Structure 1
Amino acid sequence: MLKTTISKALLSAALAATFALPLAATAQTMNTPAKSVLNKTDQQIVMGMARANIAEIEAGKLALANAASAEVKAYAQQMIDDHTKALADVTTLAQNKGVTLPSEPDAKHKAMADKLSKLKGEKFDHMYMMQAGVQDHKKVHAMLKKDEQRAKDPDVKALAAKMMPTVEQHLHTATEKHKMK
């Protein structure tokens, strides 16, 4: 009888340990951030893509509130829509590769948003199209070209290539609208 009780206790302990070990390992993995599988350069590229998209989304929202021209508001809505889709792609890639993304624009874009938020009407329209439309898209276009060349990870390269035509279209549209003003 004692032998049976001890055997049952040992068997129960062994089973409990067998099932608890994977659960403990899973809980530990869920609480600790995954180590990125990307090198530092590729991590910076992905974070730069996120920052650029976040900045365009925020500037677009500001334009919807402050722009006078229906044309500028339509452009701003396109920026919000297109850059939200692009940010979703960047976020998916980042999650798959273990990269933590920024959640807000960088200091330079916050400063630009602060300046823009003080403007209304035609002054806002002109500044928004010049800054967020032309200048930022020129920078992002150049950044994506460079990133596509220097990225080592094939998924990062592919994402830079995928984003390029949309940024080119945004730049072209902004340049044309800015010339008309």
Structure 2
Amino acid sequence: MNDTILGNFVATVDRGEIEAGKLAVSKARSSAVKAYARTMIDAHTKDLALTTRLLRGNGLATMDSSSNAAAPASGGDLVADTKAQHQQVMTQLRDATGDAFDRVYMDAMVAGHQDVLVKLEMHAGGASLAPVTSHLAAVQKAVTDHLARAKEVQLKLSAVAATQPRD
């Protein structure tokens, strides 16, 4: 793994979180879900800008949201796979309505953040530039925080669902 791929992986995750968050703000019923989505939009918008500046500032190629041009064939799978997973989640989110949307979104946030953490841990030693290594460590901490908050909201949704009468 190299700095370019790892940076573009983070940028791809950021773009996906922003897109899913915007959809959640418009479709979610739960105020807690909407608040979480707004937090994701804000945090990932800031990180996307930071990651892009970091890549460009270190002479590393950046991918736009629609291509894998910057990723060498040997490592581009991390970015391409992340994009594919995001598209599957977006399809599920677009299809979900009502309270089911809230559950699908929060389930996706928990699973997605867990997946990103695993990938960050797996490739922790893959960056060679100190600024990229430092940024990846900060991202890992942020993802850990986002995961903890997602689990809290998910638990809150489960508690509410358990108290509602069934038809």
CA distance in 2, matches of 1:146, 1:99: 22
Of 1, 5, 24, which aligns to 1:63?
24
**Given that residues 11 and 51 in structure 2 are in contact (C-alpha distance below 8 angstroms), is that contact kept between their aligned partners in structure 1?**
yes
Match in the other structure for 2:63: 101
Match in the other structure for 1:77: 38
Match in the other structure for 2:154: 178
**Given that residues 148 and 158 in structure 1 are in contact (C-alpha distance below 8 angstroms), is that contact kept between their aligned partners in structure 2?**
no
CA distance in 1, matches of 2:60, 2:127: 16
Of 83, 97, 114, which aligns to 1:120?
97
Of 144, 149, 162, which aligns to 2:138?
162
The alpha-carbon deviation at position 108 of structure 1 amounts to: 2.2
CA distance in 1, matches of 2:56, 2:32: 36
**Given that residues 14 and 48 in structure 2 are in contact (C-alpha distance below 8 angstroms), is that contact kept between their aligned partners in structure 1?**
yes
**Alignment size in residue pairs:** 141
CA distance in 1, matches of 2:129, 2:44: 22
- Ranges in structure 2 where 5+ consecutive residues have no aligned partner: 67-81, 159-167
- Ranges in structure 1 where 5+ consecutive residues have no aligned partner: 1-39
Identity within the alignment, %: 35
TM-score (norm 1): 0.73
Cα deviation digits, residues 62-120 of structure 1 (max 9, x gap):
10111010110000000000011111111101211231223257122122102211112
CA distance in 2, matches of 1:103, 1:124: 25
- Which of the pair has the greater relative contact order for Cα pairs under 8 Å at 6+ separation? 2
CA distance in 2, matches of 1:158, 1:146: 16
**Given that residues 93 and 101 in structure 2 are in contact (C-alpha distance below 8 angstroms), is that contact kept between their aligned partners in structure 1?**
yes
- Structure with the higher fraction of residues in helix conformation: 1
Is 2:114 the counterpart of 1:138? yes
TM-score (norm 2): 0.78
CA distance in 2, matches of 1:90, 1:143: 17
**Given that residues 53 and 84 in structure 1 are in contact (C-alpha distance below 8 angstroms), is that contact kept between their aligned partners in structure 2?**
yes
Is 2:112 the counterpart of 1:147? no
Larger radius of gyration: 1
